């Protein structure tokens, strides 16, 4: 079979008896050597330009034809470029691997098993009005420093969060909830005693927030 690209050459010299059908075996005609050299030069140029379909082999340590830093990335045909590699192990999209200290932005997780997770807490003072934002965290720790109106975030279906509502050292602060539905249509009466804490949980169906009382009158 004629050897038409470098990957078809043999590492055993005696096996290289032709190049693209040009006879270079022992005892070949001298006139074939010139043609063979020209053919070899053509194949080397095709290889350099990425036209031969052969892969550029890079030796261990990152040196070979050139020095590459990063990951070798193919373009879907025959050419390759080097792109910046991440630190640590490379993650495969179908592999089973352990990820540490990774931030997933708006991922879709199907049937995950989550062990020992931590929700992000957010701490703020209410003053007379506060608008809750779940981008701050899903555990909202709010200290009432005035009679406050609490504006809920957008009721995106499937969202939920917890409020830990604390009276300041003065106490007797009141709360007006916006757009929350409670059991029997009655909002809970918060604990008025200074430095006490109530905990409420909220769930959204895409239209409304539904609130429930987890516990009240905790000492803090």
Confidence (pLDDT) at 193: 97
Pick from 182, 124, 175, 133: which is nearest to 154 by CA?
133
Q: Given the structure tokens 């098993």, which residue do they identify?
A: 113
**pLDDT for position 135:** 93
Task: List, for residues 105-126, the tens digit of each pLDDT value.
Answer: 888 889 988 888 889 999 999 9
Q: What is the pLDDT of residue 163?
A: 97
pLDDT lower than 50: segments of the chain: 58-65
């Amino acid at each position: 079979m004629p050897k038409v690209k470098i990957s078809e050459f043999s590492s055993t010299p005696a096996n290289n008896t032709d190049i693209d059908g040009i006879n270079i075996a022992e005892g070949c005609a001298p006139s074939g050597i010139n043609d063979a050299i020209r053919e070899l030069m053509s194949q080397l140029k095709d290889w350099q330009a990425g036209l031969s379909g052969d892969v550029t082999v890079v030796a261990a340590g990152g040196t070979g034809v050139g020095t590459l830093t990063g990951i070798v990335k193919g373009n879907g045909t025959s050419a390759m470029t080097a792109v910046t590699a991440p630190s640590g192990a490379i993650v495969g999209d179908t592999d089973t691997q352990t990820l540490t200290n990774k931030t997933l932005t708006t991922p879709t997780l199907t049937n995950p098993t989550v062990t020992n997770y931590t929700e992000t807490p957010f701490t703020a003072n209410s003053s007379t009005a506060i608008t809750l934002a779940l981008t701050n965290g899903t555990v909202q720790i709010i200290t009432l420093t005035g009679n406050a109106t609490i504006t809920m975030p957008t009721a995106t279906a499937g969202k939920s969060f917890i409020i830990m509502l604390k009276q300041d050292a003065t106490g007797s602060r009141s709360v007006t909830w916006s757009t929350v539905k409670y059991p029997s249509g009655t909002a809970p009466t918060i604990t008025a005693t200074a430095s006490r804490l109530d905990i409420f949980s909220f769930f959204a169906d895409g239209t409304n927030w539904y609130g429930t009382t987890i516990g009240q009158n905790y000492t803090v």
